[in-house]
Structure 1
């Protein structure tokens, strides 16, 4: 009988620059399944070189190694989940959090940009009216476009 830890997950969704919200939700779930989401959210601080390294306990060294491994696993998943045309945007990132934030800033926008988009969507929704010459199917299609 196979244990649940032997179950392999499907590959992450490939991001092509559209539908960032859906891709972000899928990637968050994917990274959580591998216990890597905290690494993306909290970031990773590489170990400091020099005398401070010599003063670390074995447990601290193991923790740093584990954190480093998680960071590079998460970064690897992010690298493999984007189309080649978008890869140059994150190729220079050595920390998964940095790569994630690059995509969020570019494709989701800052808080101000999102607020403006939301206002525009609200306006579009309130101005949406069915024309006399318009079929119900066409109107529903326009409505779903705004909703999505």
Structure 2
């Protein structure tokens, strides 16, 4: 905030009733302090995180339990995918050696 002595009003409080009124007031409040862009960034981060969990779930469900134990420590779907690829397809270098 600037040093003009302006103190922002507290945000509108939602008491469980009149959501549509609160939502309009809250959007205006967030826009007044340029928080709207921050909430969009938070939402994007949450969406990205959900996509990673969905992808990991798909990979984990699509392998047998024996193979699952090999990727269960992976914290991202990319790591799990790369581990499976390297183990079962090999690296470019190992494929060249096999030829």
Say whether the fold is shared (TM-score over 0.5).
yes
Q: Does 1:62 align with 2:43?
A: yes
Q: Size of the alignment, in residue pairs?
A: 63
Query: Runs of 4+ in structure 1 displaced over 2 angstroms?
Result: none
Could you tell me how far 1:115 is from its partner in structure 2? 1.4
Aligned match for 2:92, one of 106, 111, 115: 111
Matches within 5 A, 1:6-45: none
Deviations 1:38-81 (A, max 9, x none): xxxxxxxxxxxxxxxxxx81111011001000000000000000
RMSD, aligned α-carbons:
1.2
In structure 2, what is the equivalent of residue 98 of structure 1?
Answer: 79
Larger radius of gyration: 2
- The corresponding residue for 1:87 is 68
Deviation at 1:93, TM superposition (A): 1.1
Alpha-carbon distance in 1 for matches of 2:93, 2:74: 25
> Mind listing any 5+ residue stretches in structure 2 that lack a counterpart?
1-36
Q: How far 1:111 sits from its partner (Å)?
A: 1.0
Give the alignment's TM-score, normalised by structure 1. Answer: 0.41
TM-superposition CA deviations, 1:92-142 (whole Å, max 9, x none):
11210010001011111111111123x2xxxxxxxxxxxxxxxxxxxxxxx
Higher relative contact order (CA 8 A, sep 6+): 1
2:57 aligns with: 76
TM superposition score normalised by structure 2: 0.60
